[in-house]
Amino acid sequence: MTTIELSKNALTVLEKRYLLRDENNKVIETPEDMFDRVASFIATTDEEKEEFLELMTSLRFLPNSPTLMNAGTALGNLSACFVLPIEDDMTSIFEAVKYAALIQQSGGGTGFSFTKLRPKNDVVKTTGGVASGPISFIEVFNSTTNTIRQGGRRRGANMGILRVDHPDIMEFITCKEDQTRFTNFKFSVALTESFMKSVEKNEDFDLINPRNNKAVGKMNAKEVFNKIVEMAWKNGEPGIVFIDRINQDNPTPELGEIESTNPCGELPMLAWESCNLGSINLLQHISKRKIDWDLLEKSVRAAVRFLDNVIEKNNYILPKIEEMTKANRKIGLGIMGFADMLIKLRIRYDSEEGLLAASKVMDFVQKTARDESSNLGKERGNFPNFNKSIYREKIEHLRNATVTSIAPTGTISLIAGCSSGIEPYYALAYTRNVLDGKKLLEVNPIFEQELKNLKLHTEDLLEKVSSSNTIQGLDDIPEELREIYVTSHDINPEWHIKMQAAFQKYNDNATSKTINFASTATKEDIAIAYMFAYTQGCKGITVYRDGSRKYQVLTTKKAEPADPKTLTIISEKVEPRPRPEVTEGKTHKIRSGCGNLYVTVNRDETGVCEVFVQVGKSGGCIASQSEAVGRLISLALRSGIKLESIADHLAGIRCPSPNFYQGQTVLSCPDGIAHVLEKYLDGETIFRANGTIACPDCGSMLEFAEGCFTCRSCGYSKCD
């Protein structure tokens, strides 16, 4: 078998998450073996097997992660995305909890609409009590996800959606202001056409109790819209979906309305539906600075057949999911490597030429995929609900109710060695902290090769690139490169939205994309973007303002000049100020892998001045080391060291027994102490390079794109 050329990071990801292991946790297959396993299982003939194997080993196409992980194994779930219904009764709610746990254990992500749940304090006739409302039940789902490790390889992800006319909508909009809550959920508000018109007219709209579909009050639409904007400005959530627009493209409206999407929003689905995804790597379809359309057609047709086969080969977790999935046979073929493709074609991302390239390539993919689905319809039969679909009077044959969807491709794009999804480059170079305080410079391989070709490749230049969000101001780099190598923050949000809309026009489902904003962006900027996305025909939008979350895990910012008042002259000995006679504080309990960790934080008139640490009832080395850590923290604090610096240095230290506690990853006792200290930072933002908060697996930095944090070192992602 031909050896596949894979990057070091790709091999790391495969060994850590994809390749099979024996009972002793030893890797027992190579990447070539993995692709052979998948192709053998998915194919129906020897000819198909060879075609599918070549398709994957050439890295022209990869299926979603569950297919790579589970094809040909006992687990057998090959789908990434599911939507489960939640009705307004306890049986339905807790059945959904159980089903979500089973799905996430097998490697899938789940979407829910909580709109049908009666609002808080509404009457419950069966008990004579009052309802606790949808937010309280979302807590139950979130806690369940905390306990589930997906197939032993990744943690679960959820989408929670609430219609804007639900009486509890304001609580839903603001409940993630505390970023330690609902850490396993992404939230989106389902906006209706009537609501958007009310926003434009600054009118009130009705709040509807889902128990009886009666109006129970009114709110001003502009005020609700502004609150969504405010929260998105603060930390990127909630996102929004235009639910009526989604249902306009519902291929089977006779079966019901679409109420929710998968965790990243690119797959609106009916209750009980699942969908399997795959992505074409555009980078592998460029030859001599041109798109190889013949090769692209070959790849798309093979990929459609591959994904259709997955529907038959899938091991469905629930009979209802199997029935609904096979009745509609939805597949979601998308793309990755778009930014790479533009670079190879010498096209700037934020340009009319870039939009034209997006439209042209996605139009081709959609038409080819639909044509191949039509061929399969003739060969294998139409999807069973075809006569209940919007296609029945337009065409004669169609195997799949949907054929295209643009998903995040966090880890599979890393395996394929290309840029993720349709996103621009996030950074061309950045520094990653590794063991023992060493730093590793990561550089975009295409950009690095261009520098080598121009004989400009030096460590000094790469350090300059790494220290900035952009190369636009670097005169050391030729203008011809600065013109095309634009990164996320070089691009005006308007162009991000235009690009999303260009792809959405030729997409059966929806388009996953993050609209990046600079840290200086205003709430008005976010509001304008939301309205622009609405007018441009997007089905939803996710925004992210740089630095707005508590943990900015990947930063390429140039460090701000230090305040001379905070500097200590090295040649002088630092004398800590005396401990005050009286301090006031609190003791925090947090669970670590070593047991319960008790951290007491005391203040005096100048702020936090000392920390005491105890681990359960431990003695010996653990007790002495914990006491030593507390003493050293206290000494540092009274010597003028900033609390955020101490917390930042403790965060990310790993031990062999990490733990999850109240939605947080506690990697070790020092990391747990950092979690506590961060509560005392008075809202200050920590810019980290180690990414440990968001990457529980390897402690490396994460890249925020397409609505989720993804580790480009180990492949961790909640929404791949």
pLDDT tens for each residue of 364-382: 999 999 999 999 999 999 9
Structure confidence at residue 1 as a pLDDT band (50, 70, 90):
low
Tell me what the mean pLDDT of segment 196-223 comes to. 97
692 CB contacts (<8 Å, ≥6 apart)? Answer: 651, 652, 654, 665, 667, 671, 699
Distance CA 711, CA 695 (A): 7
Residues 156 and 249 in one domain: yes
pLDDT recorded at residue 432 = 64
Tell me what the mean pLDDT of segment 222-232 comes to. 97
pLDDT recorded at residue 226 = 98
Q: What is the domain extent for residue 444?
A: 429-486
Catalytic hit among 259, 266, 273, 706: 266
pLDDT recorded at residue 708 = 64
More confident residue, 671 or 573: 671
Structure confidence at residue 393 as a pLDDT band (50, 70, 90):
very high
> Is position 328 annotated as part of the catalytic site?
no
Structure tokens at 205: 């709209």
How far is the CA of 392 from the CAs of 252, 328, 385, 387, 400, in angstroms?
A: 10, 13, 10, 5, 12
Tell me what the mean pLDDT of segment 417-444 comes to. 79
| pLDDT at 706 exceeding the cut of 80 | no
| pLDDT at 190 exceeding the cut of 90 | yes
Structure confidence at residue 413 as a pLDDT band (50, 70, 90):
very high
pLDDT > 90: what percent of the chain?
64
Range name among 161-175, 337-351, 543-557 with the lowest pLDDT average: 543-557
404 CB contacts (<8 Å, ≥6 apart)? Answer: 332, 333, 334, 362, 365, 366, 369, 506, 507, 508, 509
Residues 109 and 205 in one domain: yes
| pLDDT at 645 exceeding the cut of 50 | yes
Residues 94 and 237 in one domain: yes
| pLDDT at 526 exceeding the cut of 90 | yes
Task: Give the CATH number, domain containing residue 205.
Answer: 3.20.70.20
| pLDDT at 253 exceeding the cut of 60 | yes
Judge whether 561 lies within some domain: no
Tell me what the mean pLDDT of segment 86-93 comes to. 95
Range name among 47-61, 209-223, 256-270, 581-595 with the lowest pLDDT average: 581-595
Judge whether 367 lies within some domain: yes
Tell me what the mean pLDDT of segment 322-335 comes to. 98
Judge whether 468 lies within some domain: yes
Residues 50 and 91 in one domain: no
Judge whether 555 lies within some domain: no
Distance CA 598, CA 587 (A): 6
Count how many domains the chain has.
Answer: 4
The number of beta carbons lying within 10 Å of the beta carbon of residue 660 is: 17
Helices (H), 270-382: 293-313, 319-328, 338-344, 352-380
More confident residue, 125 or 210: 210
Residues 20 and 127 in one domain: no
Digit-coded pLDDT (tens) for 598-620? 899 998 877 788 998 988 766 67
Structure confidence at residue 202 as a pLDDT band (50, 70, 90):
very high
The number of beta carbons lying within 10 Å of the beta carbon of residue 370 is: 21
What integer best gives the mean pLDDT of the chain?
A: 87
Catalytic hit among 64, 184, 262, 444: 262
| pLDDT at 65 exceeding the cut of 70 | yes
| pLDDT at 718 exceeding the cut of 60 | no
pLDDT recorded at residue 714 = 67
Q: Is 94 within 8 Å of 88 (Cβ atoms)?
A: no
pLDDT recorded at residue 491 = 96
Residue 611 is given by DSSP the state E
Three-class secondary structure assignment of 436-458: HHCEEEEECHHHHHHHHHCCCCC
Catalytic hit among 9, 184, 259, 264: 264
Residues 167 and 206 in one domain: yes
How many helices (H) and strands (E) in the chain? 23, 31
| pLDDT at 720 exceeding the cut of 80 | no
pLDDT recorded at residue 463 = 87
Distance CA 247, CA 497 (A): 21
Judge whether 714 lies within some domain: no
More confident residue, 667 or 280: 280
Judge whether 27 lies within some domain: yes
Q: Which of 78-92, 152-166, 168-182, 630-644 has the highest mean pLDDT?
A: 78-92
Residues 320 and 246 in one domain: no
Residues 60 and 90 in one domain: no
Q: How many CA atoms lie within 13 A of 264 on its CB side?
A: 30
Structure confidence at residue 119 as a pLDDT band (50, 70, 90):
very high
pLDDT recorded at residue 180 = 76
Structure confidence at residue 439 as a pLDDT band (50, 70, 90):
low
pLDDT recorded at residue 666 = 79
Judge whether 207 lies within some domain: yes
Structure confidence at residue 672 as a pLDDT band (50, 70, 90):
confident
Residues 354 and 228 in one domain: no
Three-class secondary structure assignment of 177-244: CCCCCCCCEEEEEEECHHHHHHHHHCCEEEEEECCCCEEEEEEEHHHHHHHHHHHHHHHCCCEEEEHH
Residues 181 and 255 in one domain: yes
Residues 12 and 45 in one domain: yes
Tell me what the mean pLDDT of segment 266-295 comes to. 97
> Is position 450 annotated as part of the catalytic site?
no
pLDDT > 70: what percent of the chain?
86
Structure confidence at residue 563 as a pLDDT band (50, 70, 90):
very low
Farthest CA pair distance, the chain: 86
Tell me what the mean pLDDT of segment 487-492 comes to. 93
pLDDT recorded at residue 552 = 40
> Is position 262 annotated as part of the catalytic site?
yes
| pLDDT at 211 exceeding the cut of 60 | yes
DSSP letters along 96-113, please?
HHHHHHHHHHTT-EEEEE
Structure confidence at residue 72 as a pLDDT band (50, 70, 90):
very high
Judge whether 522 lies within some domain: no
How far is the CA of 298 from the CAs of 55, 62, 294, 340, in angstroms?
A: 9, 14, 6, 20
Residues 254 and 305 in one domain: no
